[in-house]
Amino acid sequence: MFGELSLAQMLGFVSFALGIAAFYQKDDKKLKLVMVVFNINHMVHFFLLGAVTAGFSALLSAFRTALSVKFQSRLLAYFFIGCNLAVGFYLADGWLDLLPIAGACIGTYALFCLEGIKLRLAFFVGALCWLSNNIVVGSIGGTLLEATLLSVNVVTMLRLHRQQQLATA
């Protein structure tokens, strides 16, 4: 299932590091900026693995994340969700190819419409979709990333919750 340590797999480990750095951020803007770089790297990683649907989903994610730094818009969210669905259904060879599309759609809604703990909770659900995809396509770094992000996201949500409690006390 998991191939030799190729350039594709090495880029997966770079994605692993970038993803951890992104989701460790308590500041939403910093989170999004690191995510842009992560998504570009992840796109190349997936294309090299031959996971075309996931690659295009990562490309769309880079664009949507960059726009989400400046704009909070349900209209933009729905536009990118529509693009993801269109690309996904066009490129998908089977239902498993829709896993990254589901993860990207959840992430898109989160980036444009949510913030704080709700943003990270949606990312948690999206990470479950991406984890499944990464196992299927044989992405070692991606699998490690999503498994770790599930934990890091929980820790960050707890930190944010504690910070909110202290602010209201």
What's the domain count of the chain? 1
Predicted pLDDT of residue 3 = 47
- Please report whether residue 2 resides in a domain: no
Q: Does a structural domain hold residue 53?
A: yes
Within a domain: residue 69? Answer: yes
Model confidence pLDDT, tens digit, residues 27-86: 888 988 998 999 999 999 999 999 999 999 999 999 998 998 888 889 999 999 999 999
Euclidean distance between CA atoms 152 and 145, whole angstroms = 10
In a domain, 1, yes or no: no
Q: What is the DSSP string of 1-66?
A: ----S-HHHHHHHHHHHHHHHHHT-SSHHHHHHHHHHHHHHHHHHHHHHT-HHHHHHHHHHHHHHH
pLDDT of residue 123: 87
Q: Which domain holds residue 76?
A: 7-168
State pTM to two decimals.
Answer: 0.83
pLDDT bin (cut points 50, 70, 90) of residue 2 is very low
Examine residue 93 and state whether it is found in any structural domain, yes or no. yes
What is the rounded average pLDDT for all residues in the chain? 90
Q: Rounded to 5 degrees, what angle do the CA atoms 156, 125, 68 make?
A: 70
Residue 74 within a domain: yes
